[in-house]
Amino acid sequence: MSNPSTLTLAPQATPVAKPLAIPLRAILPWALFSSLIFLLALYFIGVEQGALAIFNGTDVHEFVHDSRHLLSFPCH
């Protein structure tokens, strides 16, 4: 038996698992979908009710009115 005063308890290094790489084929559909949603939202906030309006009336304009001002799009 060894002398307890000579024992040292050092922390043991545990191996860290390498994070798995996500393949581009898994990311690409989500990136395209997110880009489409972003561009659609940007269109409705920034362009709708102008020369390229899809919907008649001012319903869309009033719905996104505050967002338009928040993003510094002119509308008045």
Residue 4 carries which DSSP code? Answer: G
Where is pLDDT greater, at 2 or 25? 25
pLDDT for residue 51 is more than 80:
no
Q: Report DSSP state, residue 40.
A: H
pLDDT tens, 16-38?
888 788 888 899 999 999 999 99
Q: DSSP alpha helices (H): ranges in the chain? A: 24-46, 59-63, 65-70
Query: What is the pTM (predicted TM-score) of this model?
Result: 0.55
Q: Residue 12: which pLDDT band, with cuts at 50, 70 and 90?
A: confident
Instruction: Flag whether pLDDT at 42 surpasses 80.
Output: yes
